Amino acid sequence: MTAIRRFLSLVLVHGFLLAGAAFVLLPFVWMLVTSIKPPDEIFTATLRLWPRHFSAIENYRYALTSAPLLRFAFNGLIVCAGILLVQLLVGIPCAYALAKLRFPGRNLLFMLTLLALAIPVQVPALPLYIALAKVGLLNTYFSIMLPFFLSVFAIFLLRQFFKGFPDDIIQAARLDGMREIEIVWRIVVPSSLPAIAAFAVFSFVAHWNDLYWPLIVISDANLATPPLGMLFFSDAETGSNYGALTAAATILTAPLVVAFLLARRQFIAGITMTGVK
């Protein structure tokens, strides 16, 4: 009796989870199969999943030649790497100072950091846009990266992490004659790599996928990040060539999805870090 009930509950649970999984996967599966279908099979609107004829090569070649998709991905890489580098170079010493050093204005700075945590890029967007326009820096990599050079989230998170670093070790290093900056980069940072890696994933995913700010400062397609490039491409195609559109979507989604499949734990930790404190 209990065996039957157990079996039934398993069927119910998996039934529910699989139905949900099917819904979640639907766009991914349809994206992949549409990207290898010839136009006539796309336009006959059958529910047939697997194509009768393949035009993967045509679709992907068309997508790659009519829009600089690899260029978009490259731009994404440059922008994300640039942002992350500055965020860490600026954020790590500040987080260390807030965690371990006494200096005037420390509490004020920490409170401002907390305030800034609640302010998304859409808020300073107008003044920053005007400033960038005035100095003629719109349509540059610099303009995409500028609002994100300072990550108050990185400072907040790393401060929490650094606070747990033993003071004795820092004192011993000082007595050995190490300078404070060396202590940060050669002792504290190497022992905080898991937190830094999680933040790196968070930052990379957030800025790879960001649309709002690049949409404002970039009109030159050669500088478009992946989401903006996708927007340019889908506007230009006006929904006529779904084979090429889904091929483009596949190419621009693939890097993060592949990275996620390879490093699932770090990804989940990084992206949901905001929640698990």
| Residue 166 DSSP label | -
Closest CB 128 distance from other proteins, rounded Å: 6
**Binding to other proteins, residues 220-239 (CB under 8 A):** 226-228, 230-231, 234, 239
Closest CB 140 distance from other proteins, rounded Å: 16
**Binding to other proteins, residues 85-124 (CB under 8 A):** 89-91, 93-94, 96-98, 101-106, 109, 112-113, 116-120, 122-124
- Greatest C-alpha distance within the chain: 77
Closest CB 65 distance from other proteins, rounded Å: 18
**Binding to other proteins, residues 4-23 (CB under 8 A):** 13-14, 16-17, 20-21, 23
The H or E element containing residue 54 is none
**Binding to other proteins, residues 31-60 (CB under 8 A):** 31, 34, 42-43, 45-47
**Residue 155-194 contact track with other proteins, rule CB under 8 A, x = bound:** x------------------------x---x----------
Taking alpha carbons only, the member of 160, 152, 153 closest to residue 99 is 160
Closest CB 100 distance from other proteins, rounded Å: 9
Of 34 and 203, which has the nearer Cβ to other proteins? Answer: 34
Which residues 6+ apart lie within 8 Å of 141 measured at CB?
A: 75, 78, 79, 82, 223
- Would you state the torsion angle of the CA atoms of residues 5, 9, 11, 17, taken in this order, to the nearest 10 degrees? 180
Closest CB 123 distance from other proteins, rounded Å: 5
Q: Report the b/e string of 97-118 with b at 16+ CB within 10 A.
A: bbbbeeeeeeeeeeeebeebee
Q: Does 252 bind other proteins (CB under 8 A)?
A: yes
Q: Which listed range, 60-68, 143-151, 160-168, 185-193, lies at the site for other proteins (CB under 8 A)?
A: 143-151
Are the beta carbons of 244 and 63 closer than 8 angstroms?
yes
Closest CB 236 distance from other proteins, rounded Å: 12
Which residues 6+ apart lie within 8 Å of 62 measured at CB?
A: 241, 243, 244, 247
Q: What are phi and psi of 96, to 5 degrees?
A: -65, -45
